[in-house]
């Protein structure tokens, strides 16, 4: 599997590719993955470091995405009835 194929699989699985706020990061990762695949004598140390750094940023962005649910859970249903918004990470830290 090429770096580009592995990257595309990760992006498809996570849904990160469809998020506009991460478009620049996704484009950078695609470019770096293509350069990794195209290097005949093996990627340079700088290219490898840049690619690994970008992958870490992708991983961080994926973990910050809201969880995907097919159906609302019981707590979501109760919040909808009472119209109480879901607490944000910032709100939870301040408490």
* pLDDT single digits (tens) 14-46: 888 888 999 999 999 999 999 999 988 889 999
Q: How confident is the model at residue 79 (pLDDT cuts 50, 70, 90)?
A: confident
Q: How confident is the model at residue 52 (pLDDT cuts 50, 70, 90)?
A: very high
Write down the mean pLDDT value for the chain: 86
Position 92 scores a pLDDT of 56
Position 11 scores a pLDDT of 92
Query: In Å, how far are 28, 64, 66, 71 from 15, measured between CA atoms?
Result: 17, 12, 10, 18
pLDDT over 80 at 72, yes or no:
no
pTM above 0.75, yes or no: no
């Amino acid at each position: 599997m090429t770096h580009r194929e592995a990257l595309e699989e990760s992006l498809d699985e996570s849904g990160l590719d469809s998020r506009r706020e991460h478009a620049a990061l996704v484009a950078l990762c695609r470019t770096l993955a293509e350069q990794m695949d195209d290097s005949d004598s093996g990627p340079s140390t700088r290219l490898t470091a840049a690619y690994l750094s970008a992958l870490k940023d992708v991983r961080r962005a994926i973990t910050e995405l809201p969880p995907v649910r097919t159906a609302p859970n019981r707590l979501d249903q109760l919040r909808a009835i009472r119209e109480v918004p879901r607490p944000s990470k910032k709100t939870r830290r301040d408490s």
